[in-house]
A = this chain, B = another copy of it.
Amino acid sequence: MRIIRNSVPSRDGFYMPGEFEPHEGCIMIFPERPDSWQYGGYAARRAFVQVAEAIGESEQVTVCASGAQYDNARAALPPHIRVVEMSSNDAWARDYAPTFVRNAAGEIRGIDWGFNAWGGLYDGLYFPWDKDNQMARKLCDLLNVDVYDKRDFILEGGSVHVDGEGTCMVTESCLLSGGRNPRLTKEEIETVLKGYLGADKVLWLPCGIYHDETNEHIDNICAFVRPGEAVLAWTEEESDVQYAMSEACLEYLGNATDAKGRHIRVHKLPLPKPVTVTEEECRGLDACWDQPTRIPGERLAASYVNFYIANKSVVMPGFGDPADEKAKDILQELFPDRRVVQIYARDILIGGGNIHCITQQIPAGRRR
């Protein structure tokens, strides 16, 4: 694995492909830490296994497990899913795994962004995050791909979406947060995104999902389903604090054009009714930084937008909500060539994210 420090992907002809383009595989991490995952992570691991199995039907899934959880992961997962030992501080592959870029010849490289647990000592979610921050480089070495060193710029994979045709989509609430790159201006951040993702235009949605502790990652509120077309998490409840947030995003997108000059066709994806954490669930969570991780009644950032687009399926969360089916039907219509698989994901949501957050695609291409 060559570490590239003196160039940026776009200068070398590399760009990040859309998630809907063909994948070689998918990276996940086996969940373990008892302040993120209730009751020792038993329920979360079951849900993660279901996600891995669903994705594994059409691509090679690699699950990273700690040394302590290796045997358990290997026993819980079917043989066609690969388990590798790799330590991490938690299980958010989207945010620690490399962002993969590809060039016209099909060569794949990775980007190793800095990671500071969604805000470092400013408003991050745990400490330390050293093992998470090692993962991108470890994975590039494992996969035999070269890696761009961009550890001096804090970014999580879940905070960017691309259409693979020059458009990148982020939220201001996250990318301009005080805990990431506060010394850089919006323009300077945009320059990094363009240079590393190979994008010509950055769309800045104002915000994400209410109480999303990632400072409102884009991948929980809005996602491209193909170039020129996106889904947006939506509620009809005007009294809900989310209403104004989704509306602000819709308004922004209504006035925006993408890198190709297209207006973006936005499909509203309903939100489930507010999901809150129970007393029973809180009792099963260890304290983090000697504080309770969650407080009974706390609202979780549930959203159907947090899905993963696999080669032959779309793997989306369900919450046992009446809107589950409607959201599934909408996605099925938007992805006619893929089977939409809905997985009951409350046990992932309690950890603070969902199916897109725990997965990272490796685009199809040529490795060294």
Contacts and interface: CB of A to CB of B under 8 A. Distances in A.
Nearest to A84: B142
Interface stretch (A131-139, A224-232, A333-341): A131-139
Interface residues of A, number: 21
A87 B74 contact: no
Nearest to A68: B87
A144 B1 contact: no
B82 A141 contact: yes
Contacts of A186: none
User: How many monomers of this protein are in the complex?
Assistant: 2
Nearest to A82: B141
A286 B162 CA distance: 53
A261 to B, nearest CB: 41
Given A67-B131, A131-B67, A85 B1 contact: no
A86 interface: yes
Contacts of A141: 74, 82-84
Contacts of A84: 84, 138, 141-142
Contact of A74 (B67, B70, B83, B137): B137
Contacts of A131: 67
A342 B67 CA distance: 35
A79 B3 contact: yes
A142 B79 CA distance: 12
A4 to B, nearest CB: 10
A83 B74 CA distance: 22
A71 interface: yes
Interface string A72-85: 00100001001111
A32 to B, nearest CB: 14
Interface in A74-114: 74, 79, 82-87
A56 to B, nearest CB: 13
A260 interface: no
Given A70-B134, A83-B141, 11 more contacts: A1-B79, A2-B79, A3-B79, A67-B87, A67-B131, A74-B137, A74-B141, A82-B144, A84-B84, A85-B85, A85-B87
Interface of A: 1-3, 67, 70-71, 74, 79, 82-87, 131, 134, 137-138, 141-142, 144
